[in-house]
C-alpha cells in the first residue's frame, strides 16, 4: 500500500500542509512590505494592501499572481536586495495557490536560473527559492538544475523591449534532457518583464524534449508597447 504512488503522493501532500501550518504557528505573520503585524496567512497589511493589484490579462500559458508595483514591488526588492529570504516561502505560498489551478497540467517545476557568476555575487537564487515550495505544494518534482544560463546577461531593466529579447536569446540551455523529456514543465521566476527570459527558457526546454512549458511568476510588469523601468531592478 505504501508503495502505491497515489498513496505516497497523498501522504506527501498531507505532510507538506502540516509543515506549512507549523511554520505559520512558529513564525509570527508580518506584512511582507513593511513588517507590520498582520492576520495569520496574510501577506500584506491593510495599509500596504491598498497598493496590491492582481495580475492583469495574462499571455497564453503565462501566469502571474500580482501586477508589479506598490507593496508587491517593495516586498520583492526586500527579498532580492535586502536579504529577506524568509519572504520566499510566503511568496511561494500565494504562487502555489495559482499553481494549484494547473496541478493536472504540469508534472515538473523548473526555476529560471541565474548565471553562476551572478549567483556567487548575490549568494542565493530567488527563483529556486520560490520554485522549491511551489513544487512541494503541488506534490510534483522540482528540477533546480535542469536549466543553466550559458552567459551572464545585462539586467533586463536597463534595456528597451527589442534589446531585452536579443539579450536573453540563446542564453539558456537544458543541462539534463533526461530530466525534462516528455515532461509538462512549470517554469518559475519572481518577475516577468517582457516574457523574453521565460520564452528563451521555454525554447531550451522544448528543444530538449519537454512536452509542454507554461510559466508562473509572482508579479508581472509586462505592459505591451511600454517599457517599464525601475531603478535597481534586475530581471
Ligand atoms: Zn504593510
pLDDT tens digits, one per residue of 109-119: 999 998 878 77
If one compares 162 and 204, the residue with the highest pLDDT of the two is 204
The CATH number given to whatever domain includes residue 123 is 3.40.50.2020
Asked if the model's pLDDT at residue 178 lies above 70, the reply is yes
Ligand 1 centroid to Cα of residue 71, in Å, is: 7
Is the residue at 33 inside a domain? no
- Using pLDDT thresholds of 50, 70 and 90, give the confidence band for residue 11: low
The three three-digit cell numbers of residue 103, written as one number? 496541478
User: Cβ(183)–Cβ(210) under 8 Å?
Assistant: yes
d(CA 182, CA 106): 11
Is the residue at 211 inside a domain? yes
DSSP secondary structure, 173-214, as one string: EES-HHHHTT-EEEEEEEEESSSHHHHHHHHHHHHTT-SEEE
Per-residue pLDDT at 155? 66
Ligand 1 centroid to Cα of residue 32, in Å, is: 7
Ligand 1 centroid to Cα of residue 130, in Å, is: 21
pLDDT tens digits, one per residue of 207-235: 999 999 999 999 998 765 444 444 333 44
Helix axes 70-81, 126-138, angle to 10 degrees: 110
Per-residue pLDDT at 224? 53
Per-residue pLDDT at 233? 39
Range of the domain at 190: 49-220
Ligand 1 centroid to Cα of residue 224, in Å, is: 29
61-84: average pLDDT: 93
Ligand 1 centroid to Cα of residue 40, in Å, is: 14
Is the residue at 213 inside a domain? yes
DSSP 52: -
Per-residue pLDDT at 27? 57
Ligand 1 centroid to Cα of residue 22, in Å, is: 23
- Using pLDDT thresholds of 50, 70 and 90, give the confidence band for residue 15: low
Amino acid at each position: 500500500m505504501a508503495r502505491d504512488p497515489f498513496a505516497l503522493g497523498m501522504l506527501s501532500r498531507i505532510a507538506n500542509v502540516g509543515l506549512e501550518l507549523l511554520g505559520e504557528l512558529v513564525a509570527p505573520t508580518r506584512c511582507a512590505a513593511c513588517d507590520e503585524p498582520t492576520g495569520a496567512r496574510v501577506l500584506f497589511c491593510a495599509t500596504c494592501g491598498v497598493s496590491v493589484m492582481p495580475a492583469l490579462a495574462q499571455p497564453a500559458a503565462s501566469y502571474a499572481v500580482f501586477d508589479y508595483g506598490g507593496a508587491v514591488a517593495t516586498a520583492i526588492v526586500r527579498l532580492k536586495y535586502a536579504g529577506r529570504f524568509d519572504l520566499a516561502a510566503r511568496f511561494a505560498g500565494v504562487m502555489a495557490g495559482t499553481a494549484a489551478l494547473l496541478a493536472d497540467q504540469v508534472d515538473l517545476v523548473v526555476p529560471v536560473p541565474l548565471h553562476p557568476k551572478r549567483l556567487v555575487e548575490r549568494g542565493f537564487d530567488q527563483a529556486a527559492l520560490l520554485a522549491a515550495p511551489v513544487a512541494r505544494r503541488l506534490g510534483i518534482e522540482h528540477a533546480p538544475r535542469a536549466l543553466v544560463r550559458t552567459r551572464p546577461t545585462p539586467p533586463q531593466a536597463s534595456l528597451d523591449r527589442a534589446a531585452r529579447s536579443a539579450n536573453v536569446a540563446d542564453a539558456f540551455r537544458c543541462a539534463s534532457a533526461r530530466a525534462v523529456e516528455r515532461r509538462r514543465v512549470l517554469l518559475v521566476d519572481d518577475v516577468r518583464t517582457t516574457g523574453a527570459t521565460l520564452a528563451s527558457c521555454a525554447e531550451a526546454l522544448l528543444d530538449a524534449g519537454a512536452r509542454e512549458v507554461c510559466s508562473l511568476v509572482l508579479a508581472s510588469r509586462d505592459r505591451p508597447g511600454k517599457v517599464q523601468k525601475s531603478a535597481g531592478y534586475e530581471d
